[in-house]
Amino acid sequence: MLLYFTSLNFNSFSNYQDCSIKVIFKHSGVILMYLILNIYISTGDVLGIDYEQIKKDNIHLSESQFSEKHQKYSDLSKSLASKFEKYEMTLEEKILYRIERELKIFNDISRKIFNSNSGISSYSNDSFSSSTSNLATELYNTYTDILNKKTVTLYTLNIEFILIYIVILSFILITLIMKNNSKYGGDNFIQDKNGKWVYECPLYKLNFVMNIIEFFYVIYTLVKVKKVRNYVFIFKSLKNIGYSIIILVTLGPLSNVNIIFIYFVNLFFFFFLFY
């Protein structure tokens, strides 16, 4: 934001350097804002959980599914089966089961525990506690691995965003240097309608290209926001970023492209985000 507002101090140009400074501060600030937003959104996308999917999974985890699984333990005593059922029917276990099912890990753990105990006809409370403790330990190790993988994914995404920013900034700088070495780097004064001579910035094409890049970045950000709006375990402010993007498109760097075009774009964004 500081870079973008700094560029507003260079609205009147007297030479090519002033024009270049405005372009650098404006677009580097805008792209940086988009990157920070996407880092924020991507963190919620990686670490968040789809609430609607959790509800669907809880419905699918019906009594028939649990009874089918409990048939594997038909040789257990009634007291053991009662304790094991209480352990499995908690909401936390349902959520864990949903994640484990996606990664095809939970069934492997259950099968290993069942096979190791299939030859025993009865179990004591100590053996049950030992089995559940081993299961909990394996689940803890599994989720630790999952969390580590998610952390690596976030780290990779952040590196990618930084590289994108460096590439775009390099593109702007190279273009400015090339323009400065061309005929546009010299005097480029024109006479306005009042007869006064003013400097015309020759970087209008670069501005247009950067506005288009920023426009597609807005679309990408909007799609990501829509995806994580129904997630849980994310930053609360992510749910309000959609409103901010609509304001940004209306009053931000795209406001000088075409007012009519932006009107229809905002209308599309509104229905896309809230319907």
What pLDDT digit, counting tens, does each position of 166-181 carry? 998 898 888 888 877 6
Domain check: are 246 and 166 in the same one? yes
Q: Is the pLDDT of residue 251 over 70?
A: no
- Indicate the residue type of 160: E
- Indicate the residue type of 210: M
Euclidean distance between CA atoms 246 and 196, whole angstroms: 38
Model pLDDT, residue 163: 92
Most confident of 31-40, 167-176, 212-221: 167-176
Its domain, for residue 65, covers 52-149
Domain boundary (98, 129, 149) is at 149
Total domains in the chain come to 2
- Indicate the residue type of 87: Y
Q: Is the pLDDT of residue 231 over 60?
A: yes
The residue behind tokens 């081993």 is 134
Domain check: are 38 and 92 in the same one? no
Model pLDDT, residue 26: 82
195: left (phi over 0), alpha (psi -120 to 50) or beta: left
b/e string for 214-246 if b means 16 or more Cβ within 10 A?
A: bbebbeebbebbeebbebeebbeebeebbeebb
* pLDDT tens digits along 102-135: 555 555 555 555 555 544 444 444 444 455 556 5
The residue behind tokens 């940004």 is 248
Helix axes of 91-103 and 125-181: crossing angle, nearest 10 degrees:
60
- N-term to C-term CA, the chain: 31
